[in-house]
Amino acid sequence: MLLTRIKGPRDLDRLSQDELNQLAAEIRSFLVDAVSKTGGHLGPNLGVVELTIALHRVFESPKDKVLFDTGHQAYVHKLLTGRQDFGNLRSKGGLSGYPSRAESDHDVIENSHASTVLGWADGLAKANEVLGREDHHVAAVIGDGALTGGMAWEALNNIAAAKDRPLVIVVNDNERSYGPTIGGLANHLATLRTTDGYERFLARGKELLERTPVVGKPLFETLHGAKKGLKDFIAPQGMFEDLGLKYIGPIDGHDIEALESALQRAKRFSGPVIVHCLTQKGRGYTPALEHEADRFHAVGVIHPDTGLPVKTAAASWTSVFADEMVKLGHEREDIVGITAAMLHPVGLHKFAEAFPDRIYDVGIAEQHGATSAAGLATGGVHPVFAVYATFLNRAFDQVLMDVALHKCGVTFVLDRAGVTGDDGASHNGMWDMSILQVVPGLRLAAPRDAEQLRAQLREAVEVKDAPTVVRYSKGVVGPAVPAVGRIGGMDVLRTPAPEVTRPDVLIVSVGALAPMCLEIADLLDKQGISSTVVDPRWVKPVDEALAPLADRHRVVVTVEDNGRTGGVGSAVSQALRDAGVDVPLRDFGIPQRFLDHALRKEIMAEIGLTAPDIARQVTGLVAKLDGRYEDEPAATVD
């Protein structure tokens, strides 16, 4: 096999065109076989095989910087830079599903949030200029979906300001992000795809006019001199050229020779150039091409021949939300849905099918989505903006200043909250409950099971004068966790034995960690330590009944699937201090560091967020209190 002979990009230089095409076929076969066993981003990588080969033939990585926006299409890049062991892809100790600096000098950007690559490219090109590195080049690959993000256009505006600063922007145009790309840019790119190229028109015109006696040649030169206007008419790439960006394309993104020719021309140019490549997501794999929803953007473990899942998926948090949104849509005509280019992943596809006139896909533009939601609410409807928890980080200012300041009734539904695992550091939803704590008036719910998700979503959309947030985990929703009572707005999940007058520990359980908290209580009970377990349901604001309840216990423990800094534990601690309750508090959550990719359960064990780990520490705390309890008051532990 040719692929096994590729140890680095320069090994590509020795291959003929026929061998390069053979290599492309081998890579596709490898990807289908490998990713079907591990899960991962299959469709995007099948679409960029020839493009990645051409990039590494033309540019000299790592001296030249080859950058990938988002990075979910970097599997081919990994293969060509010496990383061909995909056996543990996205698993602990194996290859990351995104570029990783720890893996290779060829990887530059690890952040897998979209629309950032042009900002990186602009900075790297400026650095080359400042340091006089004229033999260094920057090539940034960005999809048409990522071009819907505002950051991309902010960067383009800056890139275009320097007419003589070399930078190659490769638009990987497959008409999709997760699903089909929407919006004005998508329409413009569609026009470029379907219009005969200017150069082809001009060549035919030149041939015809040069055969015309007397007036032919002057007429051709006149037309050629007016080529800007003619280009806009024949192939309207003027939008890019109006920004001051040289445009090459559209290029067949599966023709290695044509790609190399275009990239070589762009590399030689002394300023910023856009190379517009047309690719096919899922190319070469029939099950992906026939999967209209997202062309196998991301798959679990599948059968390589059929593309069907090996295991039947159980009900997920996302599916519970999806079904409840449809019910709400039938009950209330004022409810609308918003997604940021992720209709299926966040579960709004069913709502879109039932109410096509009440769904808005804003593209990869979370900031715009949040402010648009504020406008919708002000206009008299109730928007539900479903987004991954990690991506809401990008719209914090809009949540604060547009939605909350204006007291707009907008519901944000945060999918993939907490530790998500195999997608790596930037996809863990571990910051939302910290950053949202500072937003005045915002109310935040963390449902523990499917029944509570349905109930709290309904409670959220009833709020008309403030933003509400409902956040839940990735994957399968667990069994129902029934309440045995209610104190204030909090559900009581477990009480100590009736004869216990002052229980040892109050466990404040946040969201889907309720089963773990009940397990902690069981383990403590075996050590003779009594406990009460409560689920606040709404973790912001802190329930007024919590402080007096805490005052009836010796220790308070909070357990959350969020960063410890500024999270629910911190909010509870502050509420107890404000109420004058001097009870020791221990908060358990995610340490404030970037977490390597691994299974969720592996990460939880690594950071000590498991029932045995927590029970062991709480047992030690109670034992310490017992040893000094009569001599001195216990200090508060934050």
Q: What is d(CA 36, CA 42) in angstroms, rounded to the nearest whole number?
A: 8
Dihedral, CA of residue 133, residue 58, residue 143 and residue 80, to nearest 10: -110
Q: What is d(CA 195, CA 167) in angstroms, rounded to the nearest whole number?
A: 26
311 is catalytic: no
394 is catalytic: yes
Q: What is d(CA 411, CA 471) in angstroms, rounded to the nearest whole number?
A: 11
Q: What is d(CA 275, CA 266) in angstroms, rounded to the nearest whole number?
A: 7
134 is catalytic: no
Asked if 503 and 549 touch (Cβ cutoff 8 Å), the reply is no
Q: What is d(CA 293, CA 470) in angstroms, rounded to the nearest whole number?
A: 26
Residue 559 zone, left/alpha/beta (φ > 0; ψ -120 to 50; rest): beta
Asked if 109 and 65 touch (Cβ cutoff 8 Å), the reply is no
DSSP letter for each residue of 57-123: HHS-TTTSEEEESSSTT-HHHHHHTT----TTTTSTTS--SS--TTT-TT-------TT-HHHHHHH
Residue 23 has phi, psi (to 5 degrees) of -60, -40
Cβ-Cβ contacts under 8 Å for 281 (sequence gap 6 or more): 43, 44, 46, 47, 174, 175, 176, 288, 295, 297
Give exposure, 415-433, as e/b (b: 16+ Cβ within 10 Å): bbbbbbbbbbbbbbbbbbb
Task: Give me the catalytic one of 394, 494, 537, 554.
Answer: 394
DSSP letter for each residue of 316-363: BHHHHHHHHHHHHHHH-TTEEEEESS-TTTTT-HHHHHH-GGGEEE--
Q: Which of 593, 596, 610 is nearest to 92 (CA)?
A: 596
Dihedral, CA of residue 263, residue 264, residue 270 and residue 273, to nearest 10: -10
User: In the chain, what are the helix, strand and coil shares in percent, each to the nearest 5?
Assistant: 45, 15, 40
Dihedral sign for Cα atoms in the order 368, 401, 356, 353: positive
Q: How many CA atoms lie within 13 A of 573 on its CB side?
A: 19
Q: Which residue has the tokens 């909070």?
A: 558
Neighbours of 246 (CB within 10 A): 19
Encoding tokens for residue 485?
């009572």
Task: Give me the catalytic one of 50, 260, 324, 366.
Answer: 366
Q: What is d(CA 461, CA 466) in angstroms, rounded to the nearest whole number?
A: 10
Asked if 103 and 53 touch (Cβ cutoff 8 Å), the reply is no
Residue spans of beta strands (DSSP E) within 138-280 = 138-143, 167-173, 246-252, 272-278
Asked if 385 and 411 touch (Cβ cutoff 8 Å), the reply is yes
Task: Give me the catalytic one of 281, 416, 471, 540.
Answer: 281
Pairing of strands 555-563, 468-471: unpaired
Q: Which of 319, 368, 317, 357 is nearest to 335 (CA)?
A: 357
Q: What is d(CA 58, CA 337) in angstroms, rounded to the nearest whole number?
A: 44
Q: Residue 391: exposed, middle, or buried by beta-carbon count in 10 A (0-12, 13-18, 19+)?
A: buried
Cβ-Cβ contacts under 8 Å for 537 (sequence gap 6 or more): 445, 446, 447, 452, 456, 489, 490, 491
Q: Active-site residue numbers?
A: 281, 366, 394
